[in-house]
Structure 1
Amino acid sequence: MPFGFVFPVVLLTVATLAVLVPPRRFRVLGGIGLWAGRVLNELPQLAFYLLLLTTVLTVAGGDVTSPAGWVLVVVAVFCLAGLAVIFARGLQARPVVRDFLRAAGLAAPDRRWPWARIMLTPFLRRRGDVEHIRNLGYGPGGRRQQLDLYRHRSGPAGAPMLVHFHGGHYATGHKDSQSLPLLYQLAARGWVCISANYRLKPEFGFHDHLSDAKRVIAWAREHGPEYGGDPATVVVAGSSAGAHLTALCALTPGDPRFQPGFEQADTSVSAAVCLGGYLGALDQDLDVPTSPDDYLRPDAPPFLIVHGGNDLAIPADTARGFAERLGTASANPVHFLELPYGQHTFDLFHSPRFEAVIDAVAAFGAAVSPKERPTGKKA
């Protein structure tokens, strides 16, 4: 039996089982489930293509010559069925989002999903109608204080702006890694989108992370108009740890403790979008609270909190609980959207689940930004 058949069958079967039945109690198996969920839960179709091709070539080539080999073929068939189930689960996000938008009174965006990209090249994010401007500095900290900007090539003026912060436990990550399908889609709809780096552990701590995020918002208000942005509409968004930053930025506008050297800058935001976020306290002994719960306020901006129902890193209950407490405290809408079978990093690729999330964010953004300007084409 060729190793080129044994290896993918064993690897994909273990990963598929870990996605279908997320192991929460055992550290090793839970780790497999978490890492498998990062890719396989969103891109099972690519694994399906690979395993199907490998199986067909192995059988057609006459390489299955023993009972053990045929058992492995049967295992591969069951794995293919499991991958199909994972893909079908991802499709469930679309009707869930439609029902969510209807209940929230939000209008679903009029767009066609990029099915060819979803099925064949889901890891490709670029669009020909969007200009990507790289490595603009917003502070003196070099690469870690740079941002990328995305806008429609037609250069619309007065466009709403969205600022996104990446995740990575405040220790890893970079600005051109997460939520890029969302940034490109909003830019195609006429938004100016910003994705920013910020300084990371262990060299830098909580105050540095948060002040960097606020510097990006201040930069957007000051320099966004140079790129067509409207400083009156700045939505802040983030993934995982970036969602923690997002919530803190939205709940501490203009707080001088977190704006050293730019205390007078306007760092208020129009709305906040938290994607798969940790929304609790950091494990640090600091002079200020680090949990968004400690900054709840009645004038908090509208929030959209999206979380995976099968998130192994941050249970959905924690995000739901924060949404409920914020909704009680705030006079503005707080929307919580739980994605069926979604795991932690659902925002990396053009998957059916993330395309549905993009629809939700676009609808939420349109509601908080009456100035959203279509580019003349369905995005």
Structure 2
Amino acid sequence: MNLPWGYLIGLLVLVLPAVRLPRMPIGPGTACFFAGIAVLELPFLASAAFAASTALAAAEGDLDSPVTITAAALAGACLTLTTWRGMRAMPILMRAMGGLCLSPRLPWSRILLRPFAIRPRSIERIANLSYGPHGKRNLLDLYRHRSAPANAPVLIHFHGGYYTTGHKNSQSLPLLHRLAEQGWVGISANYRLGHAGGFEAHLQDAKRVVAWVRAHGREWGMDPDRIVLSGSSAGAHMSALAALTSGQPRFQPGFEDADTSVSAVVGLGGYYGAYFDGGPDGDPLTHAHADAPPFLIVHGGHDTVVPVEGARRFAEGLQAVSAQPVVYAELPGAQHGFDLFHSPRFEAVVNAVEAFATHACATAAKR
């Protein structure tokens, strides 16, 4: 019996994202992430590809065996499960947010027709503004509405990449674009990569971005008293450390007197454990305290790059000491890097971030 191996391999790509894989080393975990992210976050495009390939296989007589029919049925069921899990993000986030008003509406035309993170024409990107002394690693991009609103709240985002790779203007763009459409100013910043400088180098860069907004924000229409830090993966680690160590001059040499406090923190698929050297100062929980700003922590339940247990540990530890809200939402079926596309899952997360950040900034102004 001649089996259509190309078609069957394609079906396997649809099946694997629906399976919760065991904990594994970072290399295989990252490979699983890249293999499944398109299916997980672009489920409607994946469904269209599945329908087209199945129709072609049927036309060529490749669906004439029990093996291929069973495989196609299994793949279809797994794709349906993957899509359903993505749709569950909204009710889970609404439950996690408690009494905070969260819009349940999703931009379906964008999700279905324009799922890729292309900047809307209403949003301008001002690229490569320098915020520190370290050349291209200390550059940031600024996103704002072309009407250039004044006194706008600010969301700063740091990309992930294991502290060894990555670049601004690559992650959480749907979030930055949405907030800019709603009158915010979004910032996506580079920072020094590599482990030679320890966690202190990354932390100093994160704090320098906050200090830059404090010093120059009004020149660009920003309100320097309403700053939200956010990050993906390693960027969430940076954001958490920066927020929890504000007011500690030893972590900002050369600009010790700068105010690096923020109104809130958002972590997306974040790592929250110790840095590579294993020292306690590189672990955000070491610095947890009662006056920590509000945190929103969102993590994928099927993350094979940064296992979800670390996010749970951090959320529980911070909740035990902080006087401010610590919101934790675990997204069923979500992998690492769920912030790359206009998917039903990430659009629900964007709704939650907007509501959380707006509320946190308003509350901080009253404190």
Q: Within the alignment, does 1:310 sit opposite 2:302 as a pair? A: yes
Measure how far apart 1:65 and its partner are. 6.3
Measure how far apart 1:66 and its partner are. 8.5
Measure how far apart 1:11 and its partner are. 3.2
Asked if 2 retains the 8 angstrom alpha-carbon contact of 1:117 and 1:124, the reply is: no
Measure how far apart 1:203 and its partner are. 5.2
Q: Please say which of residues 171-180 and 28-37 is displaced more in the overlay.
A: 28-37
Asked if 2 retains the 8 angstrom alpha-carbon contact of 1:303 and 1:335, the reply is: yes
The whole-number CA distance in structure 1 between the counterparts of 2:12 and 2:41 is: 16
The whole-number CA distance in structure 1 between the counterparts of 2:338 and 2:306 is: 13
Which ranges in structure 1 are unaligned for 5 or more consecutive residues? Answer: 373-379
Other-structure match for 1:78: 74
Measure how far apart 1:67 and its partner are. 4.8
Structure 1 SS opposite 2:282: coil
Q: Within the alignment, does 1:13 sit opposite 2:5 as a pair? A: no
Other-structure match for 1:54: 53
Asked if 2 retains the 8 angstrom alpha-carbon contact of 1:90 and 1:341, the reply is: yes
Asked if 2 retains the 8 angstrom alpha-carbon contact of 1:159 and 1:371, the reply is: no
Structure 2 SS opposite 1:193: strand
Other-structure match for 1:328: 320
In structure 2, give the amino acid aligned to 1:292. Answer: P
* Superposed counterparts of 1:119-134, under 5 Å: 119-134=112-127
Q: Within the alignment, does 1:349 sit opposite 2:341 as a pair? A: yes
Asked if 2 retains the 8 angstrom alpha-carbon contact of 1:239 and 1:275, the reply is: yes
Aligned residue among 237, 244, 251 for 2:230: 237
Q: Within the alignment, does 1:163 sit opposite 2:156 as a pair? A: yes
Asked if 2 retains the 8 angstrom alpha-carbon contact of 1:158 and 1:371, the reply is: no
Asked if 1 retains the 8 angstrom alpha-carbon contact of 2:57 and 2:63, the reply is: no
- Structure 1 residues 66, 251: closer, same or farther in 2, change over 3 A? closer
In structure 1, give the amino acid aligned to 2:246. Answer: P
Measure how far apart 1:78 and its partner are. 3.2
Structure 2 SS opposite 1:331: coil
Q: Within the alignment, does 1:35 sit opposite 2:7 as a pair? A: no
The whole-number CA distance in structure 2 between the counterparts of 1:29 and 1:18 is: 14
The whole-number CA distance in structure 1 between the counterparts of 2:61 and 2:207 is: 61
Asked if 2 retains the 8 angstrom alpha-carbon contact of 1:44 and 1:87, the reply is: yes
* Superposed counterparts of 1:1-379, under 5 Å: 6-7=5-6, 9-24=7-22, 33-60=32-59, 63-64=60-61, 67=64, 71-72=67-68, 74-101=70-97, 103=98, 105-109=99-103, 112-202=105-195, 204-284=197-277, 289-370=281-362
In structure 1, give the amino acid aligned to 2:233. Answer: S
The total of aligned residue pairs comes to 363
- Structure 1 residues 2, 259: closer, same or farther in 2, change over 3 A? farther
Asked if 2 retains the 8 angstrom alpha-carbon contact of 1:161 and 1:235, the reply is: yes
The whole-number CA distance in structure 1 between the counterparts of 2:137 and 2:247 is: 23
Asked if 2 retains the 8 angstrom alpha-carbon contact of 1:18 and 1:32, the reply is: no
When normalised by structure 2's length, the TM-score is 0.91
Measure how far apart 1:247 and its partner are. 0.5
- Structure 1 residues 65, 35: closer, same or farther in 2, change over 3 A? closer
Measure how far apart 1:332 and its partner are. 1.2
Measure how far apart 1:197 and its partner are. 0.6
The whole-number CA distance in structure 2 between the counterparts of 1:90 and 1:285 is: 35
Percent identity (aligned): 50
Asked if 2 retains the 8 angstrom alpha-carbon contact of 1:165 and 1:243, the reply is: yes
Deviations 1:316-368 (A, max 9, x none): 23212211211121111111111122221111111111111111111101111
Asked if 2 retains the 8 angstrom alpha-carbon contact of 1:12 and 1:47, the reply is: no
Which ranges in structure 2 are unaligned for 5 or more consecutive residues? Answer: none
Deviations 1:262-306 (A, max 9, x none): 1111111111111111111012166x6200011111111111111
Deviations 1:156-188 (A, max 9, x none): 111111111011110011111111101111111
Q: Please say which of residues 118-127 and 321-330 is displaced more in the overlay.
A: 118-127
The whole-number CA distance in structure 2 between the counterparts of 1:244 and 1:120 is: 33
Other-structure match for 1:377: none
The whole-number CA distance in structure 2 between the counterparts of 1:109 and 1:130 is: 22
Asked if 2 retains the 8 angstrom alpha-carbon contact of 1:22 and 1:30, the reply is: no
Task: Give the superposed CA RMSD.
Answer: 2.5
In structure 2, give the amino acid aligned to 1:16. Answer: L
Q: Please say which of residues 27-36 and 340-349 is displaced more in the overlay.
A: 27-36
When normalised by structure 1's length, the TM-score is 0.88
In structure 2, give the amino acid aligned to 1:136. Answer: L
Deviations 1:235-265 (A, max 9, x none): 1011110000010011001322221211111
The whole-number CA distance in structure 2 between the counterparts of 1:282 and 1:113 is: 37
Q: Please say which of residues 310-319 and 71-80 is displaced more in the overlay.
A: 71-80
- Structure 1 residues 18, 206: closer, same or farther in 2, change over 3 A? same
Q: Please say which of residues 298-307 and 35-44 is displaced more in the overlay.
A: 35-44
